Amino acid sequence: MTQRKVISFETIRVACKNCTLSQLCLPMGMSPEDVDRLDSIVKRSRPLHRGDHLFRSGERFRSLYVVKTGSVKTYTPSEEGGEQVLGFHLPGEIIGLDAIDQDMHACSAKVLETSAICEIPFQRFEELSSSIPSLQHQMFRLLSKEISHDAEMLLLLGKKNAEERLAAFLASMSKRLSKRGLSPTDFYLSMSRHEIGNYLGLAVETVSRLFTRFQDEGLVKVDRKHVEILDLHTMESLAGVAQAMDSRQHSN
Amino acid sequence: MTQRKVISFETIRVACKNCTLSQLCLPMGMSPEDVDRLDSIVKRSRPLHRGDHLFRSGERFRSLYVVKTGSVKTYTPSEEGGEQVLGFHLPGEIIGLDAIDQDMHACSAKVLETSAICEIPFQRFEELSSSIPSLQHQMFRLLSKEISHDAEMLLLLGKKNAEERLAAFLASMSKRLSKRGLSPTDFYLSMSRHEIGNYLGLAVETVSRLFTRFQDEGLVKVDRKHVEILDLHTMESLAGVAQAMDSRQHSN
DNA sequence: AACCCCGATTGATATGCATCAAGGCGCAAT
DNA sequence: ATTGCGCCTTGATGCATATCAATCGGGGTT
């Protein structure tokens, strides 16, 4: 009687080789045969929903996860309910890399909206990457990219002011979405102002005021979660150089 | 007439298998034969001196570097002479991991004091790690550890106040030095106050005031670069929980 | 020994952002 | 439609830390 949506999901063949994200994800640079081998160890479950966890801090590390559609936030829960948001993860991005070393998750990963996720059992993955040099290489690159990205965040949190931080956040969202074939100037944010502020090291109120200011300046048009970037160029330069409005440089 | 110090350095056989750092570095968990194979691709040069660069931002990526003795700082030079210090690297720590992805160095690495450095040509390393599973595993772990460490720094810069930052810095130095068999409570800092402040996202003056305060409180004894931690336990708890002196939690 | 130089310290002041407080508004449940 | 509840926005105030300014002092040089 009621159509079960699950059916269509189960019957569609979801394979790495058909995935539009394969150029962002692990298969990059691999032969079709090797992609099949990778494909054979990847698990795909039914879609996860807002609030679901991929894993929680303290759990044993077993798998890496790749966002296929939707978005995920990672965060370190600290004592007393406070938390530090570590990142927001869009389609094609890998989650769980920080857990390899200790063989345990130090952060939690929570789904922000209905999302499809690929699970990659790590032990099997390691065996496979030993026998596929280009897979090992791609994995090294992905780990390295994560480190570069973290370094950018350190610069952001260490040196940039509130305005530059939010501009950098919006510019980053824009860039990442456009790489996935979506509009770089018109998108919906799946996270709350509170989460954005937490991520950027700012209070919610500051984030809100900045959205208002950017809108007043004609940089963006904002309606709740819906963001239109009207002047991407200015936004990017705000995000970058910081000294745009003040020729003095930070000495620290 | 003048004795050349270089001689003794050249004649000593410096091999991974004799290295006291092998349990921190790549050889961890490898068989003696495989360590020899790794050893054969590692290059060792004469000691580098304060101010020397291992590499500079923008250079082509060729090798990873491991600190054997001494210390190195990595930083991103920004326009106009400003810089963000990304990290201080002690013996056993690997430098250059962030350059794998783009095949180019995005940061520079400068030696802080006379140091011995191992160079590992990355292309050969990758070939080797394909054929030595435990080497590949150790490399994944090292990359992952770097990511975890960066996440801790994000927490530090995003949520901690000045006091907690400096306490975390000192506690971290203490822990890392003791892992290398040195005193956890008595050491010399090879970096300036300015560099510490830059790293922690603080002004030099703030760092200086905090050293004075910590000393007044009997936590440390400081004389220029020489630091003695008198109350390591309190220092560590200051570094961690943050809420020690203030029961309110940060909401952002 | 006198001098210089640069990093470190100390004090005074300024400011960016957090915090506190009070609505406003979209949206889901009734 | 009405209510209620989060989330967001806006305004007022305070504080931690940056910034500005002056001096100190250790270590190398002459």
**Are the CB atoms for B76 and B106 separated by under 8 Å?**
yes
Mean pLDDT of chain B, nearest integer: 89
Res A82: pLDDT: 74
Note which residues in 116-155 of chain B have CB less than 8 A from chain A.
126-127, 129-130, 133, 136-137, 139-148, 150-151, 153-155
| Residues forming a β-bridge with A120 | A64
Res A46: pLDDT: 84
C-alpha to C-alpha distances, B41 to A217, B37, B124, B126, B128, nearest whole angstrom = 57, 7, 7, 11, 9
pLDDT in tens, A51-76: 999 999 999 999 999 999 999 999 99
The superfamily in CATH containing domain A5-156 is: Jelly Rolls (2.60.120.10)
- Residue B31 approaches strand D within 7 Å at CB: no
Mean pLDDT of B11-37: 82
CATH class of A161-241: mainly alpha
- Show the DSSP H helices in chain A as ranges: 5-11, 32-41, 122-131, 133-159, 162-179, 193-200, 204-216, 232-241
Res A13: pLDDT: 54
Residue ranges, comma separated, of all CATH 1.10.10.10 domains in chain B are: 160-240
CA distance A223 to chain B (A): 22
Is A251 part of the contact surface with chain B (CB cutoff 8 Å)? yes
**Are the CB atoms for B164 and B238 separated by under 8 Å?**
yes
A110 backbone dihedrals φ, ψ, rounded to 5°? -120, 135
Minimum CA–C1' distance nucleotide for A212: D9
Minimum CA–C1' distance nucleotide for B194: C7
CA distance A14 to chain B (A): 28
CB contact under 8 A, A150 and B154: yes
d(CA B104, CA B86): 17
Q: How many CA atoms lie within 13 A of B33 on its CB side?
A: 2
- Residue A148 approaches strand D within 7 Å at CB: no
Q: Which residues of A touch B241 (CB under 8 A)?
A: 79
What is the pLDDT confidence band of residue B58, given thresholds at 50, 70 and 90? very high
What is the pLDDT confidence band of residue B247, given thresholds at 50, 70 and 90? very low
Whole-number percent of chain A with pLDDT over 90: 78
Residue ranges, comma separated, of all CATH 1.10.10.10 domains in chain A are: 161-241
**Are the CB atoms for A235 and A229 separated by under 8 Å?**
yes
Whole-number percent of chain A with pLDDT over 70: 88
C1’ C19 / CA A154, Å: 25
pLDDT in tens, A198-230: 999 999 999 999 999 999 999 999 999 999 999
List bases, strand C, within 7 Å of protein CB: 7-12, 16-21, 26-27
pLDDT in tens, A162-172: 999 999 999 99
d(CA A28, CA B66): 29
Q: Higher-confidence residue: B207 or A21?
A: B207
Residue ranges, comma separated, of all CATH 2.60.120.10 domains in chain A are: 5-156
DSSP 8-state assignment for residue A104: B
Pick the CATH number of B6-149 from 1.10.3720.10, 1.10.150.530, 2.60.120.10, 2.60.420.10: 2.60.120.10
Assess whether pLDDT exceeds 60 at residue A148. yes
Q: Which of A101, A145, A153 to mutate to test the interface with B (most CBs of B within 10 A)?
A: A101
**Are the CB atoms for A225 and A193 separated by under 8 Å?**
no
Note which residues in 187-206 of chain B have CB less than 8 A from chain A.
194, 197-204
Whole-number percent of chain B with pLDDT over 90: 79
Query: What tokens does A231 get?
Result: 């002047």
Query: What tokens does A210 get?
Result: 């900045």
Helix (H) or strand (E) holding B126: helix B122-131
Residue ranges, comma separated, of all CATH 2.60.120.10 domains in chain B are: 6-149
Mean pLDDT of B148-156: 96
Nearest CA in chain B to A248: B80
Crossing angle for the helix pair B122-131 and A133-159, nearest 10 degrees? 130
Is A79 part of the contact surface with chain B (CB cutoff 8 Å)? yes
A108 backbone dihedrals φ, ψ, rounded to 5°? -110, 155
Note which residues in 84-113 of chain B have CB less than 8 A from chain A.
84, 86, 97-102, 106-107
DSSP 8-state assignment for residue B99: G
CATH number attached to the domain at B160-240 = 1.10.10.10
